[in-house]
Amino acid sequence: MDRKRADIIADSLEGMIFDGTFGDGDRLDEVQLAERFKVSRTPIREALQRLAQSGLVEQIPRRGVFVRQPGPVELIEMFEVMAELESACARLAATRITDAALRDLLETNARCNAAVAARDADGYYRENERFHAILYRQSGNSFLEQECLRLHRRLMPFRRVQLRLRGRLKQSMAEHEAILAALEDGDGLRASEELRNHVAVQGEKFHHLMASLKPAAE
Amino acid sequence: MDRKRADIIADSLEGMIFDGTFGDGDRLDEVQLAERFKVSRTPIREALQRLAQSGLVEQIPRRGVFVRQPGPVELIEMFEVMAELESACARLAATRITDAALRDLLETNARCNAAVAARDADGYYRENERFHAILYRQSGNSFLEQECLRLHRRLMPFRRVQLRLRGRLKQSMAEHEAILAALEDGDGLRASEELRNHVAVQGEKFHHLMASLKPAAE
DNA sequence: CCTTTAATTCTTGTATACAAAAAGTTTGAC
DNA sequence: GTCAAACTTTTTGTATACAAGAATTAAAGG
């Protein structure tokens, strides 16, 4: 379980920002939230500060906190950084990965493939998460691993959306295969470039998706 | 000026952790700090939470907060991540950098050289900061820039120490030259590798320095 | 009728009060 | 004498009270 009420509230608010309950620019009122969660303002304020440090909300002195949904440009930027971090994981993992982990990676990818074939979106998502988590771990750099998990988590809601793009899943699996091949060869440079491309393309796809949705909404 | 008292206190505590006033494992007592800063526990607690999220202290539920100085392994890891992030900056900057920024970079490096010649440690440090800050900015990715600045700031106290190593300054300047040359050629791959090496070597140097100091202290 | 300014209201930031949990101490039994 | 259990003390987490700054509204002057 969580540390204290403030943490539970922070997670809850995070979810509400992710799922769009709170939109960009919305003000999060302390007293409203306090009565909503049946607590005093103190734990609410703690939770809001945590969100502010994660970058999910902006805290303006003596004014309040406001939801800060990343725009298209910032999203591309975040995916670009994610791509670089994962690319670094791949490069390091190529020389450091254990045989057991490599097998695990292959098996995870196989399950991922099976999920795609079965049109099991949740299954795909779960195994894909695992695939990337293994890579982070196998970088052999736990600080890098933590940073990757942090940003990965931040991008989760946006990654999820672009799974719906036609043909993206198959392409994604092909990229996984290429990454695996490079890792098996111990080719760090190729692994890093394959993985960088694999992640960066997600940002671009998301961008295209947004661009195609925007005019449709008008 | 800062946002509120809690921010000032957080910065102050951060400085105290950096300069060693608080050592690894030290407990930060809320009431003690409260009377020390002449405030109530509330802003102290806010400050401590900020430090906890930065990773400078560990907050154990219902137990208190404890200073968490990174060990040698974690430091190497952090420098490795810094190297990868800066490397990414270089790769991106190589294609995106403006002529004006490139000139600025050259001039900054010249001032850096002058500071080395004049044995002006502070001057070297200032210009070196600027050199790297320009690179972050010229990645053209402001999210990446922010992440770089964050980690750079975190590593500051450790980077400072290894400046004293004999010959390190001259070697560092040579690396700067190599980075500049690659950027001028627009060679992203070479620039990224030069910069990665430039930063990664700092972590290694620091490690060596620590290893040589440890036995001497016994 | 619009603009500017003063007063009121609302909200955030800080202090204090209280509750619950952990640490420390004392006392009792074996 | 040592171990254990209950009680006391200390400390964190939460609630409430208060203060100060920002926003809004009302009032006055042009």
Amino acid at A206: F
Helix, strand, or coil (residue A167): coil
Query: Residue A145: pLDDT above 70?
Result: yes
Describe the strand order of the beta sheet including B27-28 as a list of residue ranges.
Answer: B27-28, B64-67, B57-60
* Percentage of chain B exceeding pLDDT 90: 78
Bridge partners of A67, per DSSP, are A57
Query: Residue B154: pLDDT above 90?
Result: yes
List all nucleotides in chain D with at least one atom under 7 A from a protein Cβ.
11-17, 21-23
Nearest CA in chain B to A196: B88
Say whether both B98 and B202 belong to one domain: yes
pLDDT category of residue A216 using cuts at 50, 70 and 90 = low
pLDDT on residue B160: 80
Give CA torsion, residues B25, A43, B54, A12, to 10 deg: 120
Give, in degrees to the nearest 5, the angle at Cα A144 between A75 and B134: 60
Say whether both A149 and A121 belong to one domain: yes
Q: Which residues touch strand D (CB under 7 A)?
A: A 3-6, 39-43, 46, 62-63; B 27, 29-31, 41-42, 45, 59, 61-65
Say whether both A124 and A29 belong to one domain: no
Say whether both B58 and B161 belong to one domain: no
H/E run at residue B27: strand B27-28
Distance from CA of A46 to the nearest CA of B (A): 7
Among B3, B59, B77, beta carbon nearest to A143: B77
Amino acid at A126: R
Nearest CA in chain A to B151: A147
- Asked whether B132 and B144 are in contact (CB, 8 A), the reply is no
List all nucleotides in chain C with at least one atom under 7 A from a protein Cβ.
11-17, 21-23
Q: Give the C-alpha separation, A95 to A125, whole Å.
A: 27
Query: Which of A3-17, A111-125, A166-180, B141-155 is modeled with the greatest confidence?
Result: B141-155
Quote the tokens at residue B212: 């040589």
Q: Give the C-alpha separation, B67 to B137, whole Å.
A: 32
Say whether both A188 and A163 belong to one domain: yes
Contact A143 B80 (CB under 8 A): yes
- Per-residue pLDDT tens over the stretch A37-82: 999 999 999 999 999 999 999 999 999 999 999 998 999 999 999 9
Q: Give the C-alpha separation, A147 to A137, whole Å.
A: 11
Can you give the CATH number for the domain in which B184 is found?
A: 1.20.120.530
- Per-residue pLDDT tens over the stretch B168-200: 888 899 999 999 999 999 999 999 999 999 998
Please identify, among B67, B102, B120, the residue that sits at the C-terminal boundary of a domain: B67
pLDDT on residue B169: 86
Please give the ipTM for the structure prediction: 0.90
pLDDT on residue B145: 98
Say whether both A142 and A208 belong to one domain: yes
Say whether both B114 and B30 belong to one domain: no
Question: Beta strand pairing status for B27-28 and A64-67?
Answer: unpaired
The CA–C1' separation of A61 and C7, in angstroms, is: 24
pLDDT category of residue A1 using cuts at 50, 70 and 90 = low
pLDDT on residue A214: 60
Q: Is the CB of A49 under 7 A from strand C?
A: no
Among B4, B61, B143, beta carbon nearest to A74: B143
| Integer CA distances (angstroms), A50 to A59, A120, A212, B42, B85, in order | 11, 34, 34, 15, 24
Say whether both A147 and A61 belong to one domain: no
Query: Residue A207: pLDDT above 90?
Result: no
Q: Residue A177 CB: number of other CB atoms within 10 A?
A: 12
Can you give the CATH number for the domain in which B35 is found?
A: 1.10.10.10
pLDDT on residue B140: 97
Q: Residue B54 CB: number of other CB atoms within 10 A?
A: 15
Please identify, among B43, B67, B91, the residue that sits at the C-terminal boundary of a domain: B67
pLDDT on residue B165: 78
Of B95, B114, B115, B109, nearest to B198 by C-alpha is B109
- Please list, in sequence order, all residues whose beta carbon lies within 8 angstroms of the beta carbon of residue B54, skipping any fewer than 6 positions away: B14, B154
Say whether both B15 and B98 belong to one domain: no
Q: Print the domain residue range for A26.
A: 5-67
Quote the tokens at residue A90: 């791949």
Say whether both A87 and A173 belong to one domain: yes
pLDDT category of residue A166 using cuts at 50, 70 and 90 = confident
- Per-residue pLDDT tens over the stretch B65-93: 999 999 989 999 999 999 999 999 999 99
Quote the tokens at residue A172: 């994604």
| Average pLDDT over every residue of A97-112 | 96
| Average pLDDT over every residue of A82-101 | 96
Helix, strand, or coil (residue A175): helix
Q: DSSP labels for B60-127?
A: ETTTEEEE----HHHHHHHHHHHHHHHHHHHHHHHHH--HHHHHHHHHHHHHHHHHHHTT-HHHHHHH
Say whether both B33 and B137 belong to one domain: no
Say whether both B39 and B129 belong to one domain: no
Please identify, among A67, A84, A103, the residue that sits at the C-terminal boundary of a domain: A67
pTM of the shown model:
0.92
Amino acid at B201: V
Is the C-alpha dihedral spanning A26, A31, A37, A41 positive or negative?
positive
pLDDT on residue B58: 96
Angle between helices B168-184 and B121-138 (to 10 degrees): 30
| Average pLDDT over every residue of A129-144 | 97
Structural domains of chain B, count: 2
pLDDT category of residue B206 using cuts at 50, 70 and 90 = confident
pLDDT on residue A178: 97
